[in-house]
Structure 1
Amino acid sequence: MIAPPPASQSIVIASGAVMLAGRQALGPLDLHLTERRIAVIGRNGSGKTTLLRLIAGLVAPVSGQVMVEGADLWRDRKAALRQIGILFQNPDHQILFPTVDEELAFGLRQQGHSKADAAAAVSALLSEEGRAHWAGLSTQALSQGQKQHLCLMAVLLMRPGTLLLDEPFAALDLPTQARLARRLEALPQRLITISHDPRGLSTCDRVLWLEGGALVGDGPPSTLLPAFEAEMARLGGLDEC
């Protein structure tokens, strides 16, 4: 039996910093994240993706500590599989297996579920999602939007408490973006969504604004999003150096 997602989690980053290619790419940051919907905004290279990777335990902090529901996910990969799910911008960078069934079952097998239980869970989810006809289908036969939906289903099967979304709409057309947005908003999990585009973030509970790896803003969207848009407009009006 596949357990339901855990209740809302607490994510604590205490003086967390990340070094990449010999330079400090993020932090040090001090954050306590408990809200249900959190957005991370900033220009390209501001440290948004690095922050998500730090939370997920995919990179180690060079200082401080990162805890998700009391677990250090860099050191405890089993806890990481339980606590955090990630949806990347490009599904082709996330899909590992040639068939839909194999892709969906992989995470469950990593969590220790038997082959039979994983297969049953996959079959049940495909039926629930109206995708029973995907069973046995090649992952390469899917459109870009369908691949993104497949990646989301694979993540949801693992029942994480928090989903990290790295520009999930970037490669999708407008109708597919609308469908994915509705699907995500209905989820019980906490969502932490990266975007450099403030449109669609007004319903978030909290916004984090990164610039050069530092936190320059932290607050409600009603305050942070207009300030961010104004600054981006200012920068866009400057001549490039």
Structure 2
Amino acid sequence: MPALLPELSPGIDIASASVSLGGRVVLDGLTLRLTEGRIGILGRNGSGKTTLLRLIAGLIAPDGGVVRVDGFDPFKDRKAALSALGILFQNPDHQILFPTVEEELAFGLAQQGLAQSEALAKAHAVLAEEGRGHWAKAPVSTLSQGQRHYLCLLAVLLMQPRTILLDEPLAGLDLPTQGRLARRFAALPQRLVTITHDPATLAGVDRVLWLDEGRIVADGPPGEVIPAFTAAMGRIGELDADADLAG
């Protein structure tokens, strides 16, 4: 189990936060304090996991309640959010903005105030360190799914956030790529908050929160929460699993 590291920031505080989308309550009065080094948020599709991650990242504001990351409001203070938070989406194509690898890597650094020449130099340096110097001028479109995912991770790491939010980080990747990314995540000093529907993704985390219909069902060590979640999913699977889906 990863120990708390001195680089970790004070934490994420959510108080009575609610979010409604399209007239439906997605998060319902959540109150959480997240300080551990490795945190997993587990739930079925549609449970509100991604909305919670977007709320923490400051990409949306709560309809009610308060969200603070290291003491600031991530929705209102985007400058502070740039240095405090990084987010890795499940689909890298929802994150990548630029046609070449070097431009994609340099963008976040430029947003933090670096001159474009310095941002590009840092991008080239990190690619060289990773043994991928030949990627610099490559069109992003020539990279595989796993390589684009890795590019997004490098772009996040270049900005040196204190907390990284991971949205189903291993979904859709082949086993070798999953292994490489999992080892890289495990070695990072930052706080990692991982959302997933797959309990196997959360092996070794400090704390697991089970989210269902926008509310916390269970919150505790993985050895307690994951078996309860797995058993509940097994019971649902024995029924008509599609019966509760909205039409």
Q: Would you call these one fold, judging by a TM-score over 0.5?
A: yes
Range of TM-score over shorter length: over 0.9
CA–CA distance in structure 1, aligned partners of residues 99 and 26 of structure 2: 35
Contact 1:6–1:160 under 8 Å retained in 2 = no
C-alpha contact 1:163 1:190 (8 A) present in aligned 2: yes
Q: How is 1:34-45 mapped onto 2 (pairs within 5 angstroms)?
A: 34-45=35-46
Q: Percent identity?
A: 63
Q: CA deviation at 1:6?
A: 5.5
Q: Distance in 2 between matches of 1:22 and 1:81?
A: 30
**1:90-239 matches, cutoff 5 A:** 90-239=91-240
The structural deviation recorded for 1:212 is 0.4
C-alpha contact 1:144 1:172 (8 A) present in aligned 2: yes
- Alignment TM-score, normalising by the size of structure 1: 0.96
Matches within 5 A, 1:40-59: 40-59=41-60
Q: 3-state DSSP class of the match of 2:201?
A: coil
Amino acid at match of 1:228: F
Three-state SS of the structure 1 residue aligned to 2:202 is coil
Which residue is 1:75 aligned to?
76
- CA distance in 2 between counterparts of 1:9 and 1:236 reads 40
Q: What secondary structure is seen at the aligned counterpart in 1 of 2:199?
A: coil
Q: Which residue of 2 aligns with 1:65?
A: 66
- Count the aligned residue pairs: 237
Name whichever of 110-119 and 185-194 sits farther off: 110-119
Instruction: Please list the CA deviations of residues 40-80 of structure 1 after superposition, one character each: whole Å capped at 9, or x if unmatched.
Output: 10000000000000000111111111000111011011111
Q: Secondary structure at the match of 2:93?
A: helix
Partner SS state of residue 204, structure 2: coil
Which one-letter code corresponds to 2:197 in the other structure? H
Q: Which amino acid aligns with 2:200?
A: R
- Conserved in 2, the CA contact under 8 Å of 1:37 and 1:206? yes
Question: Per-residue CA shift, 1:80-125, capped at 9, x if unaligned?
Answer: 1111101011111111110000000000111111112211211111
C-alpha distance after superposition, 1:208-227 (max 9, x if no partner): 10000111110000000000
Length-normalised TM-score, structure 2: 0.93
Deviates more, 1:23-32 or 1:47-56: 23-32
Equivalent position of 1:30 in the other structure: 31
Question: What letter corresponds to residue 128 of structure 2 in structure 1?
Answer: S
Given that residues 9 and 70 in structure 2 are in contact (C-alpha distance below 8 angstroms), is that contact kept between their aligned partners in structure 1? no
Structure-1 residue corresponding to 2:3: none
- Structure 2 contact 41–193 (Cα < 8 Å) conserved: yes
**Match for 1:52: what amino acid?**
L
* Native 8 Å contact 1:85 1:162 kept in 2: yes
* Root mean square deviation, CA, Å: 1.2
Alpha-carbon distance between aligned partners in 2 of 1:239 and 1:55, rounded to the nearest angstrom: 34
Letter in 1 for 2:40: A
Give ranges in structure 2 of 5+ residues lacking alignment. Answer: 1-5
